[in-house]
Amino acid sequence: MMRWRRWACARAPASRSGSLPRGWRTNTYGCTKNWRIRHCLPRRFKQFPPRTPPGPSSRIALSVRSCAPKFSLMKTSTDLPMAASTSVPLRERIRKAVRRLADQPLVGRLVRVSVATWRGPQTRDMVMQEFQDLATLRRFVNEQVPTLLEAISHLNHQQTIVSRDESNLAISVPVALRSMRRELNHLQQVQAWDPATTTARLDAIEAQLRSKEEAWAPRLNAIQEELDGMRNALKQSHETVDYLVGRVEFVRRELMYEMRHGGSSPSTEGDTLEVEPKVVNGDKLTAARQGQLRLNLGCGHIPLEGYLNVDRRDLAGVDIVSEVSNLPLERGEVDEIFSSHMLEHFPQEQLRRELLPYWKSLLKPGGKLAAVVPDAEAMIREYGAGRYDYDDMREVMYGAQDYDGDFHFNMFTPSHLGRLLQEAGFTDIEVHAAGRRNGKCFEFEISARNPG
């Protein structure tokens, strides 16, 4: 009877998932309800009603007791020989036991949780290794894939070049072969020539050329002489044209000078633009003659100390009212002539022909002429660079034009005004400042000496 109970409990299924023999069935908690099995259960499980499910503790006890005969049977089984039981490793037997426990309804869940907890570090190491492999793969993709793509692109480019070279080669090879065939034919013809025949033909050609040269020599000499004559005539014509152009320019300048500064038409008395010379401060002129006589021409509203200030308008501070071309002074008695922004009020021909020679005659030997004039080179340069206003440049170049003497007729650069002073006979020409900013104007200062 005990043996039958042990066998029945060991063969009773522990879950609903397995297949049951005919006439066997289990309730929700895995307990067998067959009458042939129920009487084999321990006495304490029979206290529950037939249809009443046992509590949790009873279910655990039932599962444990239902599983206990299995392990008891496995451990106490004497049917297997000793060699077979010892041949299985202990780890494998523990693994099989754990797998059987994992199949149980309640204990199996605890076993699976325990196994998962036991394998946690190993699983974590496996996951970390997978993450490291993934990071290595991502780093490889980020670092090596662009290089690989670039290499593939380079290979594609090289393949395109090779394909193009192949097509060009396919086109050029036939052409080169045809050229080589022509050269080969030519060499064969040359080799086929007879040296004696070739020499005779060359001599005949040379004789023909010599005879033609002798026949054309007189005509060639005549053509050469005609060309020389035409060249000489063209040279003379060029010189004549240059002379005529120079004379026309001279006549033009003379005519313009006479029209501007020459005789005028008859007019009534007092109808004149020139100012009669008048000494306003005679005492200052007398004192200057005893010391150093220095003139400030065209002083305007800015008279200078130590100078005789000259202007054609009778303004405050003016010592001599006169035109700068007709000063009430003797020749060779002036030590220095200074002017600031005055030379541009006169045409260039008047400066060259009249004013510069006249001022040179007033200076003593070694006397100094100094002038400050607008620097056209600096103004044009600054305007081109966008640092100079157009209205300011126009006013400086053409004058404010407020009265008759406020018009500008000339522009100067340091080199241009230096050439004018040199033509007038001045020496020791020096430029003391260039491109100097003064209000709306860029100016330069120049000086020269009268050699005597």
pLDDT (tens digit per residue) in 227-250? 888 888 888 888 888 888 887 877
Token match 């000339």: residue?
410
Pick the CATH number of 278-449 from 3.40.50.150, 3.30.420.10, 3.10.20.30, 2.60.40.2580: 3.40.50.150
pLDDT digits (tens, 9 = 90+) for 415-431: 999 999 999 999 999 99
pLDDT at res. 323: 92
Rounded CA gap, 439 and 229, in Å? Answer: 63
pLDDT at res. 203: 85
Q: What is the mean pLDDT of residues 3-27?
A: 45
Residue 180 contacts by C-beta under 8 Å, 6 or more apart in sequence?
none
- Per-residue pLDDT band for 267 (boundaries 50, 70, 90) equals very low
Rounded CA gap, 138 and 42, in Å? Answer: 63
**Out of 30-39, 297-306, 431-440, which region has the weakest mean confidence (pLDDT)?**
30-39
pLDDT at res. 422: 94
The percentage of residues in the chain with a pLDDT greater than 90, rounded to a whole number, is 30
Residue 437 has pLDDT above 80, yes or no: yes
Q: What is the mean pLDDT of residues 327-353?
A: 92
- Per-residue pLDDT band for 193 (boundaries 50, 70, 90) equals low
Q: How far is CA 350 from CA 184, 357, 405, 410, 446, in A?
A: 84, 10, 15, 11, 19
Closest CA to 318 of 261, 290, 280, 369: 280
For residue 325, what are its two tokens? 């071309």
Radius of gyration for the chain, computed over Cα atoms and rounded to the nearest angstrom: 64
Q: What is the mean pLDDT of residues 327-346?
A: 93
pLDDT digits (tens, 9 = 90+) for 360-418: 999 999 999 999 999 999 999 999 999 999 999 999 988 888 777 778 999 999 999 99
The secondary structure element, H or E, covering residue 282 is: helix 282-290
Mean pLDDT of all residues belonging to the chain:
77
Q: CA-CA-CA-CA torsion for 373, 377, 379, 381, nearest 10 degrees?
A: -160
pLDDT at res. 273: 63
pLDDT digits (tens, 9 = 90+) for 123-140: 778 888 888 888 888 888
Strand 320-321 with 363-374, pairing: unpaired
Rounded CA gap, 414 and 344, in Å? Answer: 13
**Please, are residues 412 and 340 in contact by the beta-carbon 8 Å criterion?**
no
Q: Positive or negative CA dihedral for 123, 126, 131, 132?
A: positive
**Please, are residues 405 and 399 in contact by the beta-carbon 8 Å criterion?**
no
